[in-house]
A and B are shown apart, each in its own frame.
Chain A
Amino acid sequence: MPSAQPLARLERSNETMPDSLTTPEHIASTWLDASPRDARDADWLRSLMSDLILLQVVDERMLKLQRSGRIGFVGSMRGLEGMLVGAGRAIPQSDWLWSGLREGGAALIRGLPLSEYIAQMYCNSFDTAKGRQMCNHFQHAGTHYPSWSSVIGTQIPHGVGAAFASKQKGDGAVHTIFFGDGATSSNGFHSGLNMAAVWKAPCVFVCVDNGWAISVSSRDQTASKGYAVKAKAYGMPGVEVDGNDVVATHDALVSLIERARAGEGPALLVLKTYRLMGHSSSDDPTKYRDQREVDEWLAKDPVPRFEQRLVADGVIDAAFLERTFTEHRATVDAEIHVQEAADAMPLRSLVDDVYSGVPRHLRRQYNEFLRVSEKLGEARRGDGAFPL
């Protein structure tokens, strides 16, 4: 490690507590509704629109594959596209992304290849995780994006520890750590925010308050007024931004990431948004939530909202939208065809990657398994026994 710093010499964040508690003032909670709205490059705005459409197309296709039994499960991004694109565009590939169930879309925009995204949904032999995780558990080492386990909140301290390591190594990377409103009740949230602030770790916490943790309303998850206020108690700024506003999300994240990179410590960004679909493809949300609430949020749907703004401002027109949808559908469908044809994982993958090598007891268990599989005519080429 180049510039390793002993723990004892870490700056104590409480020395700078008063400053670090003031919300960075230039962070605006909205761009779409601001007046006057600051001008943005038209090409950039069009590219955001294109990304939003891509996520819609991906989600729509994944849900379709799930309904037809081709893939097992989908944690839908519907309603969250704005924050996913905003985040995906704000986090440089050289930084790290730590995520929960629904940030695959941000990863895709940021550089996770579409082929790997779809392979993961198929859990097939093209999947870099060898089909071992459930659907919606993406990873991409090339852009510093480890997969989420499934256990809510556990990634929060991981991100903090990795940020600590970045600080020790002096690699300049900032770690953006996503989690849901539900995850704020997990042990990982408390230990993660607390330790990050004590260590002044270069990380940004992003709480995606999408209204629900399965069937528990985000209002019932905490007695606090919102989630941003929680940051204060840990000694870091907390900012709430409209998560259905792609530009506002992008800007807030860029600003907090650069603040962390400058050594000013962690911050908590709360993105107010809404999960328009059920928790997953196996959830029926009508059992616990009012359609009126869904309708209110449908009116704030981040994709049409952005689209209408850009159309009104003359940045895009109907032809642009149609062309973009068609192009993305073609790309996604072509990739689905490739993934459909992939092989399932070989039997031998049952026992590898448990350790760096396959230990003797697992070789023996696998060989014994193979003896029965061969008897049953199930073993295939590549399934060969291990030498003991």
Chain B
Amino acid sequence: MANLTLIQAVNDGLRTAMEADSTVYVFGEDVGPKGGVFLATENLTRDFGANRCFDTPLSEDGIIGTAIGMAMNGLRPVAEIQFQDFIFPAFDQIVSEAAKLRYRSGGQYTAPMVIRTPYGGGIRGGLYHSQSGEAYFCHTPGLKVVIPSTAHDAKGLLLASIADPDPVLFLEPKALYRSVKGEVPEGHYTVDLSTLRNVREGEHVTVLCYGAMVPVCEKAAARAAENGIECHIVDLRTLLPLDEEGVLEAAKKTGRVVVVHEAPRFCGMGGEISALIAENCIEYMEAPIIRVTGFDTPFPNTLEHHYLPDERRVLDAIERSAAY
């Protein structure tokens, strides 16, 4: 066991995968000698050589397009997109190609690959270094979408993603890169995709969240507890395919649900989860489902702390749900 930050756990995960499997290749913009703009790939070129971890020209479309070809021909590419905001030049390759290859070839060709990318706000990055674009990708059958919120899960989910036979978009909450620290087992282990994590047990209000919103919800729950409201917090961890049974079970447990994400509200995960609950267990609900989300606007710059749901906004929703 080592006590690692979330980003160190990502680095450890990459290292572990590269040691275990010589077909794992890591590449992207500035991932080589610089070690990535957030240092997720620090020293991988030094330790595995410039053949296994290397810089590419500045072309996201090229990075993902070539990753697909590598995957089709026996390699396990782990491509980095420097910021999730810059993934859109590769949207076509992800949505039209990687996600549909297995289906359109009747299973003859597949693209087992991982796209790692930091997402979300909290670094004063303005509208092009802060976005949470998970919903675009969750609307893409054939793709898996994973978001860790702890160091342990970052490594375990990353190793599971690399081993997965299908393309995985691995979104890393950059706000937690260095603020979250935890025990991480040495060597190879995996955390199953599509299984949620119970963060906190409680009987009054269920809070469903993921990524950088998990610690925010934990703080809100601690304050709610001071007033006698015990929250049941669930970290979804894999958004696609979603652990639907787990979500329904958590919703039924309290009959009161708050869903929290920093992405815009409209057509976001909150809407999907609300519909899932409404369709399957509305008779258990004691209160309307409440969403706490970013605004349906581009991501602001100086006002980002107002855009991002914070513990006080989540607490307000928890209290309203409990009081209903």
Binding site for B on A (CB under 8 A): 72, 123-124, 131-134, 137, 149-153, 182-183, 185-187, 213-216, 220-222, 282-283, 287-288, 344-345, 347, 349-351, 354, 361-362, 365-366, 369, 372-373, 375-376
A218 to B114, CA, bound (A): 27
**B178: min CB distance to chain A, Å:** 13
Beta-carbon contact of B86 and A215 below 8 Å? no
Do the beta carbons of B55 and A187 come within 8 Å of each other? no
Closest to A289 in B: B33
- A344 vs B34: C-alpha distance in the bound complex, in angstroms? 35
Residue of A nearest to B126 (CB): A134
Contact between chains at B312 and A187 (CB < 8 Å): no
**Contact A186 to B59, CB < 8 A, known contacts A214-B37, A365-B295, A372-B312:** yes
Tell me the residues in window 12-58 of chain B with beta carbons closer than 8 Å to chain A beta carbons. 29-30, 32-35, 37, 55, 57-58
Give chain B nearest CB distance to A132 CB in angstroms. Answer: 5
From B57, B129, B313, give the contact of A185 (CB < 8 A).
Answer: B57
Measured CA separation A362–B298 after assembly (Å): 12
- Among the stretches B158-166, B167-175, B215-223, B299-307, the one at the interface with A is B299-307
Judging by beta carbons under 8 Å apart, are B57 and A134 in contact? no
In contact, B30 and A185 (Cβ under 8 angstroms): no
Q: How distant is the Cα of A362 from the Cα of B265 in the complex, in angstroms?
A: 11
Contact A187 B30 (CB under 8 A): no
User: Which residue of B35, B59, B297 contacts A350 across the interface (Cβ within 8 Å)?
Assistant: B297
What residues of chain B have their CB less than 8 Å away from a CB belonging to chain A? 29-30, 32-35, 37, 55, 57-59, 61-62, 85-86, 88-89, 124-129, 265-266, 295-298, 300-303, 306-307, 312-313, 316
Cross-chain pairs A/B with CB under 8 angstroms, 9 sampled: A124-B302, A133-B127, A134-B129, A151-B85, A351-B297, A354-B296, A361-B266, A369-B306, A372-B312
Q: How far is the CA of A182 from the CA of B129 in the complex (A)?
A: 18
Whether B295 contacts A362 by the Cβ 8 Å rule is yes
Q: Are A215 and B302 within 8 A (Cβ)?
A: no
Q: Is the CB of B303 within 8 A of A349?
A: yes
Asked whether, in the complex, the Cβ of A150 is within 8 Å of the Cβ of B128, the reply is yes
- 19 further A-B pairs in the complex, CB-CB below 8 A; given A350-B306, A354-B298: A123-B302, A132-B126, A132-B300, A133-B126, A133-B301, A134-B129, A137-B126, A151-B85, A151-B89, A185-B58, A216-B30, A282-B37, A288-B33, A345-B302, A350-B300, A351-B297, A365-B265, A369-B306, A372-B312
| B127 proximity list for chain A (CB < 8 A) | 132-133, 150
* Cβ contact within 8 Å between A369 and B295: yes
Residues of B within 8 A of A361 (CB): 266, 296
Q: Tell whether A344 pairs with B35 under 8 Å between CB atoms, given A213-B58, A351-B295.
A: no
- Contact check, B59 vs A372: say whether CB atoms are below 8 A apart: no
CB distance from B36 to the nearest CB of A (A): 9
Q: Which A-chain residue is minimally distant from B31 (CB atoms)?
A: A215
Contact A216 B307 (CB under 8 A): no
* Residues of the A chain whose Cβ atoms lie less than 8 Å from the Cβ of B32: 215, 288
In whole angstroms, how far apart are the Cα atoms of A132 and B58 in the complex?
25
Complex Cα spacing A366 to B266, Å: 14
Residues of A within 8 A of B86 (CB): 151-152
Q: How many angstroms between the C-alpha atoms of A349 and B129 in the bound complex?
A: 19
Least CB distance from A31 to B in Å reads 31
* Pairwise interchain contact A362-B34, C-beta atoms closer than 8 A: no
Minimum CB–CB distance for B23 against chain A, Å: 24
- Minimum Cβ distance to chain B for residue A344 (Å): 6
Decide if A216 touches B55 in the complex (CB within 8 Å). yes
A222 touches B57 (CB 8 A): yes
> Is the Cβ of B29 less than 8 Å from the Cβ of A216?
yes
Closest A residue, CB atoms, query B62: A185
Please, how many angstroms separate the alpha-carbon atoms of A372 and B32 in the complex? Answer: 45
Complex Cα spacing A262 to B71, Å = 50
Which A residues touch B34, using CB under 8 A? 214-215, 287-288
Please give, as numbers and ranges, the residues of chain A lying within 8 Å of B124 by CB-CB distance: 72, 134
A187 to B313 CA separation, bound complex (whole angstroms): 41
Which single member of A72, A149, A152, A283 contacts B58 (CB below 8 Å)?
A152
Closest to B42 in A: A287
A35 CB to closest chain B CB (Å) equals 38
Are A134 and B125 CB-contacts (below 8 A) given A222-B57, A365-B295? yes
When distances are taken between beta carbons in the complex, the residues of chain A under 8 Å from B316 are: 372, 375
**Nearest Cβ distance between residue B123 and chain A, in whole angstroms?**
9
B-chain residues with CB within 8 Å of residue A351 when the two chains form the complex: 295, 297
CB neighbours of B265 from chain A (8 A): 365
Asked if B266 and A215 sit within 8 Å, CB to CB, the answer is: no
Q: Whose C-beta in chain A lies nearest to the C-beta of B307?
A: A350
B313: chain A residues within 8 A (beta carbon): 372
**Interface contact B306-A347, CB-CB below 8 Å:** yes
CB neighbours of B58 from chain A (8 A): 152-153, 182-183, 185-186, 213, 216, 221
Rounded to whole Å, the gap between the CB of A194 and the closest CB of chain B is: 15
Minimum distance in angstroms from B135 CB to a CB of chain A = 16
Q: A344–B301 Cα gap in the complex (Å)?
A: 11
Name the distance in Å between B273's Cβ and chain A's nearest Cβ.
19
